[in-house]
Amino acid sequence: MHDLTPLTALGASKPRSDTIGPVTISEAPDVALASVTARLGQEAACQDALRALLGIPAPDIAAYASGPQLSAFWIGPDSWMIMAPYDTHPGLANRLTSVCKDTASVTDQTGAWARFDLTGPDLPRLMERLCNLDLAHMPPGRARRSVIDHLGCYVIKHQDGILLFAPRSAAQSLHHALLTAAQAALR
């Protein structure tokens, strides 16, 4: 039998956290993710199923919402990414499939994306070095897709900071870009 050790997207056994000046960039590997896309003609039924599971309505266009246990953000027409702590929701995709039934297509995304949490003052100044989103005027509770360092990423602004999702295979590239931008913002 193989003795495998799980690694974070940055290749370590423990999540990495870097503080540069007032900004902290933390790897957040313990997140269960699943995408949900309503099937044609089942959009309303899918949204009803998601409302029952999330405890809140499915987020509207370019929005992020957090329920009692699960969070979600809009990723396209009648499509959402659902997230939860992995330790309490390791079978998130299966649970979504059983709740949504034939109203949606559900895909487990847990191993596909790397998440970084950014905290600190003046994060919009840092992010303007990385992407074309105007985070200074973007209110909390918004989720947008943008390109950061040639990578398609999801950028979510909330009260405490910014959540970034990038393809796991490019996590080290994004992390390097975040560190470089944070160091440049100090100048």
Tokens representing residue 141 in the block: 């509770």
The residue extents of the domains of the chain are 17-29+112-185, 31-108
Distances (CA, A) of 61 to 14, 48, 73: 35, 17, 9
What are the tens digits of pLDDT across the range 135-175? 999 999 999 999 999 999 999 999 889 999 999 999 999 99
The number of beta carbons lying within 10 Å of the beta carbon of residue 187 is 4
- What letter represents residue 44's amino acid? A
Q: Read off the pTM.
A: 0.93
Domain range 17-29+112-185, its CATH number among 3.40.30.10, 3.20.20.70, 3.20.20.120, 3.30.1360.120: 3.30.1360.120
Per-residue pLDDT, 6: 86
Per-residue pLDDT, 186: 76
Rounded Cα–Cα distance for residues 48 and 146 (Å): 29
Q: Which residues contact 13 (CB under 8 A, 6 or more apart)?
A: 5, 6, 7
Q: Percent of the chain beyond pLDDT 70?
A: 99
Rounded Cα–Cα distance for residues 47 and 43 (Å): 6
Residue 137 φ/ψ, nearest 5 degrees: -105, 5
Domain 31-108 has CATH 3.30.70.2860: no
Angle at 118 between CA 85 and CA 23, to 5 degrees: 140
Average pLDDT over residues 39-46: 98
